[in-house]
Amino acid sequence: MKAYNVAQKLIDSHLVIGEMIPGSEIGIKIDQALLQDATGTLVQLELEAMGLKKAKTEVAVQYVDHNLLQTDFKNADDHLFLLSGAQRFGLWYSRPGNGVSHPVHMERFGKPGKTLVGSDSHSCAAGSLGMLAIGTGGLDVAAAIAGEPYFVTMPKVMGVKLTGKLPDWVSAKDIILEMLRRHGVKGGVGKILEYYGDGLKNLSAMDRHVIANMGAELGATTSVFPSDDETKRFLRSQAREEDWIELVADEGCNYDLHEEIRLDELVPLIAQPTSPGNVVPVSEVAGKPIGQVVIGSSANPGLRDFWMAGAIVKDRSIDNEVSFDINPTSRQIIQNMIDNRAFANLIKAGARFHQSGCMGCIGMGQAPASDTISLRTMPRNFPSRSGTEDDQVYLCSPETAAASALTGKITDPRGLEKLFGMSYPQYVSPEMEIINTQLLVAPLEDGSQIELKKGPNIKALPHIDPLEDNYEVPVLLKMGDNVSTDEILKAGAEVLPFRSNLPEISKYTFTVIDDSFYDRAMESKSQHGGHIVVAKENYAQGSSREHAALAPKYLGQVAVIALSYARIAWQNLANFGVLPLEFITIEDYDKIEQGDTVSFKNLRNDIKDRNPIKVKVSNDSGKKLEFEVKHTLSDRQINMLLKGGIINEFKAKLNL
Ligand code: MIC
């Protein structure tokens, strides 16, 4: 019997297509599905287009945690649409204000040994419970809910050995920031990060959630932890001990890659603008004045995180220049914060409490003032993501955030001992948490008679034109490394409500980079039949939003040519019929410019027959050159892409 690590055990027990050979495509059975509302409206439309009768997964939950600001009818209409879809298709429904999907799923539904796909890049947080949980585009989640296998490139498994114990004032967030400091935002691409070692015994399940959640920021396919006594304790505290099974790596198992972190050696860390990978010790940037601190998000969702912030500010007042925003991550956590006095400690110190949800993490309110620094316990700080142009968002632990709220400047929390004679607060997890399921609506036995409630902002899925053989189209944008999904299609309170309205949301495509893009794309679509864009490494890092592929497609995007892609983005482009092509050399990237014309001939056959794809480049100044590009699509993806993407494939399969 082969000795397996946890990731291999999870995949092997769910493998339905392919073999566990890194780099090859595998298909796995999916037990659980997680939908959030900003991607879920499209998924519900896709489930309707597929003619789904009832979800085939063991558990499928539609969460409402993004579009929570009801400044007009749009989000409120979406909430009703999502409820009707959940009831029609047999999904749980987590009502607005119930909480952020990832911690709520962990509290109420997560089970060791299960697989999950989620229409949110941070779905990987469920790896904290010994699950194989993968963030992906909504269409892939819809397919899984309909009972299809989930297809993914078999990743390598990096064993991350944790040894020793965290020093005072250093917490789980600093562990994942250390991984980002060492490996950067594409260091996890094509990998599963599996944590093991004696350091695990001092990490709670929610600490593990913090680490697994931000594995997304390294581009990792997912992160996994073993299911051990701590997992059992957590499930017991959620009145779900019966859901526990042990799941640990076999003695003598192998990892494809190795990393080790000595927890005793860690110091408080912080990610500087505008990348989660721009990590330095807090001490290096201490003293900078700040205007805001935000505690919350799925990247620090645990009761301990809020309790710690409360214990640090207890009986003190925050600095007058600082807006101290608290985003509880679930109603259940609010109730427990009241019970353990964290709520009172925070309020008395000057905190502003908001409803439980993602909120400022995706620019849904709490935008910082211009030219001010905002410290957040969140996972991302891509340009303008907070809702403020040229924002300065730093990512840190609750300890660093609370210490800085007291002093009004970036502060190393270890300095509180000297500043205030404060010793490190010692958190003790409650045996049993107060359980609150008030805003969780169970699936109906038979929802077939439920009508989908579609308000005026919910538009039908677009028709996707299949790929043609020949194109002669302009390069509308040339971009660099690590272009984020927030730069391709921004989040935030202004744009997010249009996620169910493709014609409208497409007007915001690439506006963070070039606000002329929409007009130029529409002109190019009518004059040349489309366009391409080019980029360097790790194109479209970050979010699972398939809108970052669908909106450009709607504007006529034929292909992207990049040096490399973020995993989810690469899959989403293919799903929507946009060719994810790759430069073979960096020199070719250097040769092509924005405004050039590129032409492809015999494209469909070259894609199908895996021939080298020739790109001819020309411009009005007489440039004439040619180079080859490649793709790494699987046979399945090629077939799907030649039909115009997964929607057309489903329509054909279901005779829609
Ligand atoms: C994010 O954190 O970027 C988001 C907003 O949750 C996205 C999902 C979305 O764009 O709706 C994600 O992480 O997938």
| Torsions phi, psi for 144 (to 5 deg) | -65, -40
The closest residue, in CA terms, to atom 11 on ligand 1 is: 38
Question: What is the position in ligand 1's atom list of the atom closest to the CA of 358?
Answer: 6
Contact by Cβ (8 Å): 260, 292 = no
Q: How many angstroms is it from 171 CA to the middle of ligand 1?
A: 24
Q: Residue 515: CB partners within 8 Å, gap ≥ 6?
A: none
Contacts of range 424-429, beta carbons closer than 8 Å, 24 or more positions apart: 424/168, 424/169, 425/307, 425/308, 425/311, 425/312, 427/304, 427/307, 427/308, 427/311, 429/204, 429/233, 429/237, 429/303, 429/304
Please identify, by atom number, the ligand 1 atom nearest to the C-alpha of residue 36. 11
223-253 pLDDT, tens per residue?
999 999 999 999 999 999 999 999 999 999 9
Tens-digit pLDDT profile for residues 486-505: 999 999 999 999 999 999 99
C-alpha closest to that of 326 among 288, 297, 302 = 297
Does the CB atom of residue 542 touch ligand 1 within 6 A? Answer: yes
Note the pLDDT tens digit of each residue in 307-358: 999 999 999 999 999 999 999 999 999 999 999 999 999 999 999 999 999 9
Q: Calculate helix-pair angle for 567-575, 138-145, nearest 10 degrees.
A: 70
CA 496/CA 489 separation, integer angstroms: 10
Quickly tell me which residue has 């007007």 as its tokens.
Answer: 507
Among 246, 265, 284, the domain-final residue is: 265
Ligand 1 neighbourhood includes 42 CB (under 6 angstroms): no
- Which residues lie below 8 Å from residue 463, measured CB to CB, with a gap of 6+? none
Position 654 scores a pLDDT of: 61
234 shares its domain with 317: no
Q: Tally helices (H) and strands (E) across the chain.
A: 23, 27
Spatial strand order of the sheet with 15-17 comes to: 15-17, 25-28, 150-153
Among 247, 266, 158, CA closest to 202: 266
Q: Which residue's CA is minimally distant from atom 10 of ligand 1?
A: 545
Same domain, 90 and 121: yes
Using a 6 Å cutoff on CB, does residue 191 contact ligand 1? Answer: no
Are 256 and 377 members of one domain? Answer: no
Structural domain contains residue 130: yes
Is the CB of residue 120 below 6 angstroms from any atom belonging to ligand 1?
Answer: yes
Look at residue 655 in the predicted model and tell me its pLDDT. Answer: 60
Rounded mean pLDDT, 422-428: 97
Residue 543 Cβ < 6 Å to ligand 1: yes
Stretch 441-453: mean pLDDT, rounded?
96
User: Edge to edge, what strands does the sheet with 156-163 contain?
Assistant: 222-224, 191-196, 156-163, 257-262
The answer to the question of residue 579 being in a domain is yes
| Residue 23, helix vs strand vs coil | coil
Are residues 177 and 238 both part of a single domain?
Answer: yes
Query: Do 511 and 599 have their domain in common?
Result: yes
- How far apart are alpha carbons 497 and 57 in whole angstroms? 28
Mutate to test the pocket of ligand 1, among 117, 545, 547, 571 (most ligand atoms within 8 A of CB): 545
Give the separation between CA 292 and CA 312, rounded to whole angstroms: 17
Beta bridge partners of 613: 629
Alpha carbon nearest to ligand 1 atom 5, residue: 362
Last residue of a domain, one of 265, 297, 314: 265
Residues 25 and 159 in one domain: yes
Whether 213 lines ligand 1, by a CB cut-off of 6 Å, is no
- The mean pLDDT of 631-655, rounded to a whole number, is 84
Kindly state whether residue 429 falls inside one of the protein's structural domains: no
Encode pLDDT of 272-316 as tens digits: 999 999 999 999 999 999 999 999 999 999 999 999 999 999 999
Residue 220 within any structural domain of the chain: yes
pLDDT tens-place string over residues 585-622: 999 999 999 999 999 999 999 999 999 999 999 999 99
Are 86 and 171 in the same domain? yes
Position 628: which residue type? E
pLDDT at 646: 82
Task: Tell which phi-psi region holds residue 56, choosing left (phi > 0), alpha (psi between -120 and 50) or beta.
Answer: alpha
User: What separation in Å is there between the alpha carbon of 372 and the centre of ligand 1?
Assistant: 24
* Beta strand pairing call for 531-535 and 471-478: parallel
Which domain CATH number covers 223?
Answer: 3.30.499.10
User: CA 524, CA 532: separation in Å to the nearest integer?
Assistant: 10
Q: What is the DSSP string of 53-71?
A: -S--SSEEEEE--SS---S
For 246-272, the pLDDT digits (tens) are 999 999 999 999 999 999 999 999 999
Is residue 37 domain-resident?
yes
Same domain, 567 and 489: yes
Identify whether the C-beta of residue 529 lies closer than 8 Å to the C-beta of residue 473.
yes
CATH number of the domain that residue 484 is part of: 3.20.19.10
97 and 139 housed in the same domain: yes
Q: Is the CB of 121 under 6 A from ligand 1?
A: yes
Please, what is the average pLDDT of the chain? 96
Residue 513 to residues 390, 539, 547, 554, Cα–Cα distance (Å): 12, 14, 17, 19
pLDDT tens figures, 538-571: 999 999 999 999 999 999 999 999 999 999 999 9
For residue 464, being part of any structural domain is answered with no
Task: Assess if residue 30 is contained within a domain.
Answer: yes
- From the CA of 138, how far away is ligand 1's center (Å)? 11
| 19 C-alpha to ligand 1 centroid (Å) | 30
Give yes or no for a contact between 88 and 450, defined as CB atoms under 8 angstroms apart: yes
Do residues 391 and 503 both lie within one domain?
no
Contact call for residues 31 and 57 (beta carbons, < 8 A): yes
The tens digit of pLDDT for each residue in 362-404 reads 999 999 999 999 999 999 999 999 999 999 999 999 999 999 9
Task: Report the SS3 class of residue 350.
Answer: coil
Separation of 546 CA from ligand 1 center, angstroms?
Answer: 10
What is the spatial distance between Cα 403 and Cα 526, in angstroms, rounded to a whole number? Answer: 55
- Three state DSSP letters for 393-407: EEECCHHHHHHHHHH
307-319 core/surface letters (b: 16 or more CB in 10 A; e: else)? bbbbbbbbeeebb
Q: Is the CB of 122 under 6 A from ligand 1?
A: yes
Name the pLDDT band for 656 (thresholds 50, 70, 90): low
pLDDT at 461: 82
Ligand 1 and 43: CB distance under 6 A: no
pLDDT band at 50 (very low <50, low <70, confident <90, very high): confident
> Which of 265, 300, 327 is at the close of a domain?
265
Quick check: 413 and 312 in contact, CB under 8 A? yes
Neighbouring C-beta atoms of residue 421, cutoff 10 Å? 7
Rounded percentage of the chain residues whose pLDDT exceeds 90: 95
Q: Reduce the DSSP state of residue 597 to 3 states and report it.
A: strand
361 CA to centre of ligand 1 in angstroms? 9
3-state helix, strand, coil in the chain (%, to 5): 35, 20, 45
Full residue range of the structural domain in which residue 181 is found: 6-265
For 116-159, how does the pLDDT look when each residue is reduced to its tens digit (9 = 90+)? 999 999 999 999 999 999 999 999 999 999 999 999 999 999 99
Please tell me if the CB atom of residue 544 comes closer than 6 angstroms to any atom of ligand 1: yes
Nearest protein Cα to ligand 1, atom 9: 545
Would you say residue 376 lies in a domain? yes
Number of Cα atoms under 13 Å in the Cβ half of residue 297: 29
Q: For residues 276 and 482, what is the distance between their CA atoms, to the nearest angstrom?
A: 11
Q: Work out the pLDDT band at 49, boundaries 50, 70, 90.
A: confident
Give the residue whose CA is nearest to atom 3 of ligand 1: 543
Q: Are 364 and 69 in contact (CB under 8 A)?
A: yes
For the chain, the residue count is 656
Distance 542 CA to ligand 1 centre (A): 8
The domain tally of the chain equals: 3
Position 465 scores a pLDDT of 83
- In this prediction, residue 528 carries a pLDDT of 98
Q: Is the dihedral of CA 353, 355, 356, 359 positive or negative?
A: negative
Q: State whether 229 and 289 are in the same domain.
A: no
Q: Find how far residue 585's CA is from the centre of its chain.
A: 30
Per-residue pLDDT band at 652 (split at 50, 70, 90): confident
Task: Output the six-digit token pair for 279.
Answer: 């990590």
Question: Could you give the strand order of the β-sheet that contains 115-118, starting from the edge strand earlier in sequence?
Answer: 132-135, 115-118, 32-35, 59-63, 92-94, 440-441
Rounded CA-CA distance 466/388 in Å is: 38
Q: How far apart are CA 390 and CA 52, in angstroms?
A: 44
SS (H, E, C) 161-230: EEECCCCCCCCHHHHHHHHHHHHCCCCCECEEEEEECHHHHHCCHHHHHHHHHHHHHHCECEEECCECHH
Are 11 and 122 part of one and the same domain? yes
CA dihedral 121, 126, 132, 136 (to 10 degrees): -20
Tokens read off for 87: 């009831």
Strand 579-583, strand 471-478: pairing: unpaired
d(CA 423, CA 537): 44
Return d(Cα 267, Cα 166) in angstroms, integer: 9
Give me the half-sphere count of Cα atoms (radius 13 Å) on the Cβ side of residue 283: 8
The structure tokens listed for 648 are: 């057309």
User: Which protein residue has the closest C-alpha to ligand 1 atom 1?
Assistant: 543
* pLDDT for 5 beyond 80: yes
Other CB atoms within a 10 A radius of the CB of residue 49 amount to 16
pLDDT band at 650 (very low <50, low <70, confident <90, very high): confident
In ligand 1, the atom with minimum distance to the C-alpha of 385 is 3
